[in-house]
Amino acid sequence: MTKVCAPPPEVFDAGLRAAQLQEGIADAVLRLGRRGAVVAVSGGVDSGVVAALCARALGPEHVMLLRLPEEGLGTRSADLGRQLATALGTPTAEQGISAALEQLGCYDQQRDAVRAVVPDYESGWPFKLVRSAPSGAMTVFSLVVERPDGSRQTRRVPAVAYRELLAATNMKQRVRTLVTYTWADRLHAAVAGTPNLIEYDQGFFVKGGDGLCDVKPIAGLYKQQVYALARYLDLPEAIAGRAPTTETFTLAQSQEEFYFGYPLDQMDLLVWGVRNHVAAEVVADRCDLTVQEVEQGYREVARRQVATAYLHAPALVLDDAPAQV
């Protein structure tokens, strides 16, 4: 019989977990010697839940919600961030990052990378990266470009262009983190990160970007548990029910098509199964996948855990003492 070390994601007491996390946040901020917390809010459910937990743990007056919009991605996230701050009673501030990204060459690098794949691409045409569907084979990425007439062109991205484009987009997360820590220094506050468990486990974050923070309150929560907490914490419906997006490229994009390859409810179960050595048959009975598809999903989850170990690794501190003979 398979021994399950943790209950499945749907077995979850939102009230109990909220109380535990609030206590943990308060203790973490105290141990760090900070006076409050700063949360960069995206208008999504993850940052909304983290902001609400911090407000409850520390008092809303001690939590700053930062809105860090980028031109070309719309105002929806900033508007929802403002709505969240009003609902929680926290202070909020907005600081756009487009000018900094322009000066750092982010947009030029993006454009050049896209033109390496679509030579006639013009600045301002919306685009996104999409991955191949899970198949057991190597994951490949394609670029989708939307032309002014509304037509879309999809082309496979060579490795060099992919790395150039990814490096440019990762710059966005690193600039957001730079701004967040600047505010944290100003307020003598801790930075509260927003990755959930499947993002944390699968390396869906940027090293030195959204992966960098002082406390990660929801990195032990599956996505469906985050949604359950959003309901329990009575977040605005526009946030509590919002579908996750990458908010990285100018064409709308889901996390499934960019990174995970599976809907988030299935990702919860696949990650739970791998982490707890659950038989594929058990997971197949809980979702719309065959046993063979679950086994394939397990292999992809495990490969990604290995491939993204670098993102979790701390800096290597080299001992300068001479080696003992």
Q: Is there a contact between 141 and 162 (Cβ–Cβ < 8 Å)?
A: yes
Instruction: Give the CATH number, domain containing residue 227.
Output: 3.40.50.620
Quote the pLDDT of residue 1.
38
CA atoms within 13 A on the CB side of 105: 6
pTM of this prediction exceeds 0.85: yes
Question: Are 172 and 238 in the same domain?
Answer: yes
Residue 118 counted as domain residue: yes
Question: Are 262 and 176 in the same domain?
Answer: yes
Enclosing H/E stretch for 30 = helix 14-31
Residue 188 counted as domain residue: yes
Residue ranges of the chain whose pLDDT lies below 50:
1-2, 4
Place of tokens 């993850």: 46
Count of the separate structural domains present in the chain: 2
Residue 244 counted as domain residue: yes
Residue type at position 169: T
Question: Are 180 and 148 in the same domain?
Answer: no
3-state secondary structure (DSSP) of residue 198: helix
Q: Rounded CA gap, 108 and 111, in Å?
A: 5
Q: Rounded CA gap, 151 and 90, in Å?
A: 43
Q: Any idea what DSSP says for residue 183?
A: H
Quote the pLDDT of residue 3.
52
Question: Are 79 and 179 in the same domain?
Answer: yes
Question: Are 98 and 234 in the same domain?
Answer: yes
Quote the pLDDT of residue 69.
94
Quote the pLDDT of residue 243.
86
Residue 140 counted as domain residue: yes
Question: Are 213 and 98 in the same domain?
Answer: yes
Quote the pLDDT of residue 76.
84
Question: Are 85 and 95 in the same domain?
Answer: yes
Among candidate residues 164, 183, 214, the one where a domain is terminated: 164
Full domain range(s) for residue 54 = 14-102+165-308
Quote the pLDDT of residue 324.
65
Quote the pLDDT of residue 186.
98
Question: Are 227 and 281 in the same domain?
Answer: yes
Quote the pLDDT of residue 320.
66
